[in-house]
Amino acid sequence: MRSRYSAYVLANEAYLLATWHASTRPSQPDLAADAPTRWRGLEIKHHAATGADQAVIEFVARYKIGGRAHRLHEVSRFVREDGRWYYVDGEFPATSDLP
């Protein structure tokens, strides 16, 4: 999760694609089309294994666009294949419902 956050900060689309599971990976994230974003921090709220090769991570990422502050609160699902972790998808909870 932290490495993917860093990839967003650095606009490293190649890394984002390489760490995105093939079943949900977009053809191109196209970060350049987004408004200029200043990432301000990442807080990992919770993480849990949900199986031998599955996990969820709840996080809050803070950022600014045009001087206005925003937060992205997500519970992300990851799977491990061939020893590597891949982002699958995420939900935007009103509150955490993790165990």
- At residue 95 the predicted structure's pLDDT band, cuts being 50, 70 and 90, is low
Higher pLDDT, 2 or 99: 2
Give ∠ CA 48-14-30 in degrees, rounded to 5. Answer: 100
Over range 48-69, report the average pLDDT.
Answer: 96
Mean pLDDT of 51-67: 96
CATH 3.40.50.720 fits 2-91, yes or no: no
Q: What is the 3-state secondary structure (H, E, C) of the chain?
A: CHHHHHHHHCCCHHHHHHCECCCCCCCCCCHHHCCCEEEEEEEEEEEEEEECCEEEEEEEEEEEECCEEEEEEEEEEEEEECCEEEEEEEECCCCCCCC
Domain boundaries of the chain, sorted by first residue: 2-91
pLDDT of 97:
53
Global confidence as pTM: 0.87
Higher pLDDT, 77 or 36: 77
